[in-house]
Amino acid sequence: MSSGSSNSKEKEKARVSRTSLILWHAHQNDAAAVRKLLQEDPSLVNATDYDNRTPLHVASLHGWIDVANCLLEFGADVNAQDRWKNTPLADAEGSKKSNVIELLKSKGGLSYGQTGSHFEPRAVPPPLPNKCDWEIDPSELDFSSSARIGKGSFGEILKAHWRGTPVAVKRILPSLSEDRMVIQDFRHEVNLLVKLRHPNIVQFLGAVTDRKPLMLITEYLRGGDLHQYLKDKGSLSPATAINFSMDIARGMAYLHNEPNVIIHRDLKPRNVLLVNSSADHLKVGDFGLSKLITVQSSHDVYKMTGETGSYRYMAPEVFKHRRYEKKVDVYSFAMILYEMLEGEPPFASYEPYDGAKHAAEGHRPPFRAKGYIPELQELTQQCWAADMNQRPHFIEILKRLEKIKENLPTDHHWHLFAS
């Protein structure tokens, strides 16, 4: 390799590292560190992550006035637009940060994107042109005995009936049905689910995309989610935890298959569903935050949105706004395995955000449960390694779980662990 191309690669690497740093310091409300970086390299003021979010977007969302002032002083683009066409002012308005809203307006900030999109009558095309085979007529959905089984900022998930079959319906709130960002996320999830076929992935059945409210219809799983199951049962025996883990790992190995890798980005007990009340089969669900990525090489790493997913199960590199790849899901898997064996969430005594911060500082929850046999401890530690390159792939995790399962003592020996 020529020294010229080697030097340019090194420069690019350093640039990526500084981009991560300024986004991280903006997120941490560290105005002094942001100023120092900008004094060294003023061009970082408009650095962007994978979703085109600038440091000013981050500061505006959190309401960090000193950081925002510093960025504007160094010439930050007050109307920079992220992947969803949001400006910093749209972010500040969305999170009701009045001090930053005033500052941005005084600097010529425009509210465009998430907030402004409500006023744009622009039609959004349906998720797929050949959608006739899965487009569902709303009149076929029977909500007469429906029950709400989930709720989010976008809307709600209801148990309903479709042609006599119980189904789960994700229904977008009418007030958000004109919001371009919400519609884009909805289309993204539909486009993703249409492609998925696996026994350990929640099955997509259809969607309502050409009239309001927008709805996404999947199979209904009677057993509820793993979060509630663990809340009711407490710690699981190693045999049960291994069986559950293998189901999750099978679904994830399918999603991570190259070249078209799907990174879940929000793997947690609430998004793992039990097929029935006997809990003999699990499926991975909720792909609202997933990313579909075409991998050019096995070493590809992507700069994606920091802080995507749920803090308690979030990989340190995501929390720190660093470059990351599919191994973020392996970290989340380790946290779920831990919760199944310990009977309590990782860092249970911390608030979720503080737990994620603690993990990003290098800490990991302690092993206390007697059922946490050494082989499972070793696997967990490798899956939550700080260096994502040290974490195994799900195919390897599956092989190791199968081996551990083969060597487990028979049921009548469980008093050794469970006492």
> Average pLDDT, whole number, for the chain?
84
Q: How many CA atoms lie within 13 A of 227 on its CB side?
A: 12
Q: What is the DSSP string of 248-284?
A: HHHHHHHHT-SSEEEE-S--SGGGEEESSTT---EEE
Q: Catalytic one among 266, 280, 286, 354?
A: 266
Q: What architecture is domain 3-116?
A: Alpha Horseshoe (1.25)
pLDDT of residue 288: 64
Binding residues for ATP: 170
Residues of each annotated binding site? 170
Q: Are 20 and 321 in contact (CB under 8 A)?
A: yes
* Chain-centroid distance, C-alpha 153: 15
Provide the pLDDT for residue 272.
Answer: 95
Residue 292's H or E segment, with its range, is: strand 291-294
Q: Which class in CATH covers the domain with range 226-414?
A: mainly alpha
Please give the backbone phi and psi of residue 270, each rounded to the nearest 5 degrees, phi first: -65, -25
Q: What is the pLDDT of residue 301?
A: 38
Domain edges within the chain: 3-116, 131-219, 226-414
For the domain bounded by 131-219, which CATH number is listed?
3.30.200.20
pTM of the full predicted structure?
0.68
Q: Rounded to whole angstroms, how far apart are CA atoms 182 and 32?
A: 35
What is the tens place of the pLDDT at every residue in 313-350?
A: 999 998 888 877 899 999 999 999 999 999 999 999 99
Residue ranges of the chain with per-residue pLDDT less than 70: 1-16, 50, 113-132, 152-153, 288-309, 410-419
Is 266 a known active-site residue?
A: yes
